[in-house]
């Protein structure tokens, strides 16, 4: 096994994680304070249920959505948790640096929501790389991606003054294109024929539906949590609710339509049903009428299934971009679509609040910047992750938890026992 593939993480991983945690604690000691005000009332905790919904999406939603691979559930849900736990601390710092008062970052429920949001970008990129990277690489990507994300977010929101309440652009498109660029750099030609473990099993597909459903259910909270007023918040809730419902119908319809026997494909149901939440993000609090939200959702469901069916195989074989979870179809294309919808809405002078309307050129600039910065940032991050001592698994051990995790004995035993035999009784009880 070449040294580039030493997967023993004992010291690299643990020392890096402890170093990062120690560094963050020191930085918190210097910079971070409670939003200290004894006049805090129930109103200040009003956002707490919205925060909790987002929190569930990050850890249960993203985590379980990725458990669809038959032998990679520990990593999906575990490394997802690791990334999010590191990311929310780091995100609090790097987002806070843009908004310091008297050299201090003051934290409250809203800053916790934003910290959780920042981790979503990394979790999306993680989806593109799933099964092909080491936990050490993911710690590094978390640090780099959230730093770049917070710069782009500052540019979009505070410099360009674009609107992106539900973050179609700044989170979804950003995370997807960042991850795809990194996946391109980390492309493994050895996997171009596919991999025996890159498959779901019956139960793992049901585990993944836990992720799908909690994402689906709490997306209205995600898109409305940081809306400026309660009035806009209610509108974002309603638009997202109906966009997701419409998207679900379209995704089911298309899934059946593109398969020659008309069967439904779990990959589409797990992912494309969520595209409506992504695509409505930028326009979530605009006065686009409920039917407008449903139109956007329907188109997103359509585009997402088409992407899974035709674009993902094309990207993998022709563009050398292998996207394990299909994040391009769930976050990339629908995120782009969301940006586009916000440009059109702005051009059509759709009201945001009162007579106020966002500016079409600024929305377009936001979309362009986001994708450009994501692609460049992701490519550079990919190059850094390629450093040979970061513990990547060799091709044959991809999509396999047992490289980085203690896996229950029976299974290993059985798989070993049976997969060595060449007769027709060969089974993989992992099913």
User: Within positions 80 to 99, which residues make up the interface with a second copy, using CB under 8 A?
Assistant: 81-82, 85-86, 88-89
Distance between CA atoms of 217 and 419, rounded to whole angstroms?
40
Q: Give the angle 177-178-179 at the CA atoms, nearest 5°.
A: 90
Site for a second copy in 126-145 (CB under 8 A): 135
- Nearest-10 crossing angle of helices 174-185, 135-154: 140
Among 143, 148, 160, 269, binds a second copy (CB under 8 A): 269
425 near a second copy, judged by CB under 8 A: yes
290 near a second copy, judged by CB under 8 A: yes
**H/E segment holding residue 157:** none
Among 213, 306, 360, 384, binds a second copy (CB under 8 A): 213
Site for a second copy in 220-239 (CB under 8 A): 221, 229-231, 233-235, 237-238
Among 155, 253, 376, 380, binds a second copy (CB under 8 A): 253
Query: What's the min distance (Å) between Cβ of 277 and a second copy?
Result: 12
133 or 248: CB nearest a second copy: 248
The residues, any chain, with a CB within 8 Å of residue 140's CB and separated by 6 or more, are 16, 381, 384, 385, 390
Site for a second copy in 8-67 (CB under 8 A): 8-15, 17-18, 20-21, 24-26, 28-29, 32-35, 37-46, 48-50, 52-53, 55-56, 59-60, 63-64, 67
427 near a second copy, judged by CB under 8 A: yes
CA 279 to chain centre: 14
Q: Are 328 and 307 in contact (CB under 8 A)?
A: yes
Among 147, 155, 191, 266, binds a second copy (CB under 8 A): 266
Site for a second copy in 402-421 (CB under 8 A): 404-411, 414, 417-418
Among 157, 191, 217, 344, binds a second copy (CB under 8 A): 217
430 near a second copy, judged by CB under 8 A: yes
- The first and second tokens of residue 197, run together, are 């473990």
327 near a second copy, judged by CB under 8 A: no
Measured CA to CA in angstroms, residue 296 lies from 222, 334, 335, 415 at distances of 17, 9, 11, 46
Q: Is 282 exposed, middle or buried (0-12, 13-18, 19+ CB in 10 A)?
A: buried
344 near a second copy, judged by CB under 8 A: no
The string of DSSP codes covering 138-154 is HHHHHHHHHHHHHHHHH
188 or 199: CB nearest a second copy: 199
Query: What's the min distance (Å) between Cβ of 420 and a second copy?
Result: 10
- The first and second tokens of residue 59, run together, are 């850890």
């Amino acid at each position: 096994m070449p040294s580039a593939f030493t997967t023993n993480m004992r010291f690299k991983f643990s020392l890096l994680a402890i170093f990062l945690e120690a560094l963050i604690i020191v930085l918190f000691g210097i910079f971070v304070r409670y939003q200290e005000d004894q006049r805090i009332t129930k109103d200040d905790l009003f956002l707490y249920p919205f925060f909790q919904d987002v929190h569930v999406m990050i850890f249960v939603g993203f985590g379980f959505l990725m458990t669809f691979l038959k032998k990679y559930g520990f990593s999906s849900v575990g490394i997802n948790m690791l990334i999010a736990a590191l990311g929310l601390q780091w995100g609090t710092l790097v987002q806070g640096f843009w908004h310091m008062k008297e050299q201090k970052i003051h934290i409250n429920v809203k800053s916790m929501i934003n910290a959780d949001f920042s981790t979503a970008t990394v979790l999306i990129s993680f989806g593109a790389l799933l099964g092909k990277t080491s936990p050490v690489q993911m710690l590094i990507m978390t640090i780099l991606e959230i730093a770049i994300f917070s710069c782009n977010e500052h540019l979009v929101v505070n410099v360009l003054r674009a609107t992106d309440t539900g973050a179609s652009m700044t989170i979804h498109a950003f995370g997807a294109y960042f991850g795809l660029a990194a996946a391109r750099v980390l492309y493994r030609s050895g996997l171009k024929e596919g991999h025996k473990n890159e498959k779901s099993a019956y139960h793992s597909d049901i585990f993944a539906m836990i992720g799908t459903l909690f994402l689906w259910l709490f997306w209205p909270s995600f898109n409305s949590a940081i809306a400026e007023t309660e009035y806009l918040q209610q509108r974002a809730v309603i638009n997202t609710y109906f966009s997701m419902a419409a998207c679900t119908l379209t995704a089911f319809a298309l899934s059946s339509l593109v398969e020659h026997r008309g069967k439904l494909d779990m990959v589409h149901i797990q992912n494309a049903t969520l595209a409506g939440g992504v695509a409505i993000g930028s326009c979530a609090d605009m006065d686009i009428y409920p039917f407008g939200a449903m139109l956007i959702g329907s188109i997103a469901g359509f585009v997402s299934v088409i992407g899974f069916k035709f674009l993902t195989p094309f990207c993998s074989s022709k563009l050398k971009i292998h996207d394990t979870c299909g994040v391009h179809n769930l976050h990339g294309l629908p995120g782009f679509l969301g940006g586009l919808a916000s440009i059109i809405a702005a051009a059509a002078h759709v009201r945001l609040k009162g007579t106020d309307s966002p500016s079409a050129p600024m929305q377009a600039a936001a979309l362009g910047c986001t994708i450009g910065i994501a692609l460049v940032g992701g490519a550079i991050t990919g190059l850094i992750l390629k450093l040979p001592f970061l513990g990547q698994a060799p091709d044959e051990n991809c999509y396999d938890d047992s490289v980085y995790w203690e896996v229950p004995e029976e299974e290993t035993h059985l798989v070993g026992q049976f997969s060595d035999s060449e007769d027709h009784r060969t089974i993989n009880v992992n099913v």
